[in-house]
Structure formats: structure tokens, C-alpha cells
Amino acid sequence: MKAENKLLPTEEAVKKFVDDGALVCFGGFTHGIPFALGHEMIRQKKRNLKICKETPDLLVDQMIAAGCVKHTIFSWAGNPGVGLLHAFRRAIEKGIPKPITYEEYTHFIMAARYFAGASRIPFIPISAGIAGSDLIKYRKNLKTMDCPYTGKKLCLVPAMNPDIAIIHAQRADREGNVQMWGIFGSNKEIAMASQKVIVSVEEIVDEETVRRDPNRTIIPGFHVDAIMEEPWGAHPSYTQGYYDRDNDFYIEYDQATRTVEGMETFLNEWVYGLENRKEYVKKLGAEKILKLMVKPYYSFPVNYGYYG
């Protein structure tokens, strides 16, 4: 693929790369949740998706309410710092709008499954801690074994290899070399574990900006299928150094989505009623944007040395 073809509008990237029924893996851990891309999947009425994300957050909750999701794989399904996810609960407890199936793990197991997937090994042994949890009764794909070297009990977790990873980060160049700082979550691992990778960034930067600081690259361009510039693409979560987490939005969402009707109103207002992220940012409004913008706090430049 020619480098310049990777820079795609979000709408086109979702159309081209996200198939109905795919196993879709979202990146971000409180930080950098790819809302712009997820909302576009809702607008395009993607169906029967299997979604994996350690913390589904409001994004997967909205996708469940919109009927995009058939199956979820997660380790902590709550509204961080606030409470529960109402659409997620309705789907599981009452089958509204339709029943979803799910499988859950612990954070460590999810992280280890991505790591095994990224390394293309079929499984990875971890500490047998999980054996004390009832989870193991319901997850037949978790095995225990005695270590062939030490005899110690181990828990084996199978690799996870999603069809597509969806990630939001600070910046990338036109070749798709993605750079991130702040809380990474499993972004590096899910990108390498997945067949396809699409990434929205706050800024597309020139190649030299990336190459002057190679340690900050989390995904190499050769493994990125599409990149798009989506400023504020992670709101109401945040992008470190660009804008703050909109904690009020998380609290208001909790109140607004307690009923099916409330959830529909929310989706109409924030997803269906907007054509793209630009409109979303306009809807957020100047006052909110100013409130969430963050004062700079720069790192010092490091010296890589000129070895010419």
C-alpha cells in the first residue's frame, strides 16, 4: 500500500476496514478511547460486532445501545469513577435492545491474551491466581498446568487475535508511524495482535517529528492500515497534553442513560444527529473546549546524538 493512501477520512476508513461480524478491539485505558471512530461505526450501523476492550467505557455502552454488538469481551465494565454502564446492564439483564453474549476475564488475563496474540504464540502462562476465582468455572478456555521446569502451578491464557484494532493517539506521520505518551493501556499489544489497525490522532505530523523521537513510537507504520486526523477524537475521554478528561460528561451520561428513552435521546443528540467529529466538536462548544484545554507542561528534549 502506498503511504499516502493511509490517510483516510474516518467515514471511509470505517467503511473500508470494519466488517459486520468482525472481532473489533478498542484501545485506550481511560486515556485515548477512540470515540470518533466508534461513533462512526454506530452511524454506519455496523452489526454483530464482537468487541474486546478491557474497560468498555461509555463507547461500548453506546454501541450496545445502538444495536451494533453481539458479543463483548472485557475485564471491567463500569463507568470509571462514576458507577455502572446502563445499556450494558440492560442488554445483559433484560436483553434490551437485544441480548448480547459476553466473556469476562481479569485485567491481567486480557493484557496477557493480547501479549500472546501480539507475539503470535498460542498461549502464555501466568501466575495461577485466577484459579482462586469463580471465573475459571465459566471460562473453559483458561487452563491450569504444572510448570514443566519448576512444578509450580500456572494458569494458561490463550492468545487473542482481533480482526481489527481501533486506536486513538496523539500523533502520527503520513506513513502511519503512531506516537503516544501518557497512559498506554494495551495499545501497542492490541495493534500487534490484530490483523488490521486503524488509528485516529490529534495531529498528523511530518516524518522528521517522528524520527527525532523514535522511542515514542508505539506502532510502526507498516502495520497501520489507515490513519486519520481527528482533533478531540477521544472526548469525553482525554488525550494527554491536548485536553482533559470531561468528568462532568461521564457523570451526566450516568444520569441521562438510565432509561431506554434517555439513551436514545443521548444517541440522537451526540451520534446520529451529527455527521462527523467536526460537528461534534462544534456541538461541544467554545466554553467546554476552553474548560478542557490544558496548560502546557513540556518534557525536556533528549539528546539522541547525531551519528552521521
Partner 1 sequence: MKKYAKDYSLQELMVVVAARELRDGEIVFVGIGIPQLAAVLAQRTHAPNLVLIYESGTIAAKPMRMPLSIGDPTLASGAAGIYNFIETFSYLLQRKFIDVGFLGGAQIDRYGNINSTVIGNYEQPKVRLPGSGGGCDIAALAKRVILIAPHEKRRFVEKVDFVTSPGYLDHPATRAKLGLTGGPSAVVTTMGVLRFEDATKEMYLDSYHPGVAIEQIKENTGWDLKISPSVKETEPPTEEQVTMLREKIDPEGYYLKKVNP
Residue 93 lies near partner 1 (rule: CB under 8 A): yes
Distance, in Å, from the CA atom of 190 to the CA atom of 135, rounded to the nearest integer, reads 23
Distance, in Å, from the CA atom of 257 to the CA atom of 4, rounded to the nearest integer, reads 41
Question: Any alpha helices (H) in 20-165, and if so which ranges?
Answer: 35-43, 57-65, 86-94, 107-119, 135-138
- The binder of partner 1 chosen from 112, 159, 169, 219 (CB under 8 A): 112
- Residue nearer to partner 1 on the CB measure, 134 or 287: 134
Residue 293 lies near partner 1 (rule: CB under 8 A): no
Burial of 298 (0-12, 13-18, 19+ CB in 10 A): exposed
Residue 6 lies near partner 1 (rule: CB under 8 A): no
Of the candidates 204, 234, 265, the residue with the CA atom closest to the CA atom of residue 35: 234
Distance, in Å, from the CA atom of 35 to the CA atom of 146, rounded to the nearest integer, reads 42
- Residue nearer to partner 1 on the CB measure, 72 or 200: 72
Residue 287 lies near partner 1 (rule: CB under 8 A): no
How far out from the chain centre does Cα 218 lie? 14
Segment interacting with partner 1 (CB under 8 A) among 43-51, 82-90, 200-208, 219-227: 82-90
- The binder of partner 1 chosen from 17, 115, 266, 280 (CB under 8 A): 115
Give the shortest CB-21-to-partner 1 separation in angstroms. 24
Residues of this chain, 117-146, that bind partner 1 according to CB under 8 A = 126-135, 138
Cα-Cα-Cα-Cα dihedral sign, residues 146, 147, 152, 158: negative
Burial of 87 (0-12, 13-18, 19+ CB in 10 A): buried
DSSP 58-84: HHHHHHHHTT-EEEEEES--EETTTEE
Residue 266 lies near partner 1 (rule: CB under 8 A): no
Give the shortest CB-196-to-partner 1 separation in angstroms. 21
Backbone φ, ψ for residue 287 (5° rounding): -65, -50
**How many C-beta atoms lie closer than 10 Å to residue 122's C-beta?**
10
Residues of this chain, 193-222, that bind partner 1 according to CB under 8 A = none
- Residue nearer to partner 1 on the CB measure, 78 or 262: 78
Give the shortest CB-34-to-partner 1 separation in angstroms. 15
- The binder of partner 1 chosen from 25, 111, 219, 228 (CB under 8 A): 111
Residue 114 lies near partner 1 (rule: CB under 8 A): yes
Give the shortest CB-296-to-partner 1 separation in angstroms. 11
- The binder of partner 1 chosen from 53, 188, 196, 235 (CB under 8 A): 188
Segment interacting with partner 1 (CB under 8 A) among 60-68, 73-81, 167-175, 254-262: 73-81
Distance, in Å, from the CA atom of 261 to the CA atom of 190, rounded to the nearest integer, reads 34
Residues 209/30, Cβ–Cβ less than 8 Å = no
- The binder of partner 1 chosen from 67, 97, 182, 231 (CB under 8 A): 182
- The binder of partner 1 chosen from 71, 139, 143, 153 (CB under 8 A): 153
* Residues forming the site for partner 1 (CB under 8 A): 29-31, 54-55, 74-78, 80-81, 84-85, 88-89, 92-93, 104-112, 114-115, 126-135, 138, 152-153, 181-189, 238, 240, 244-245, 247, 294, 297
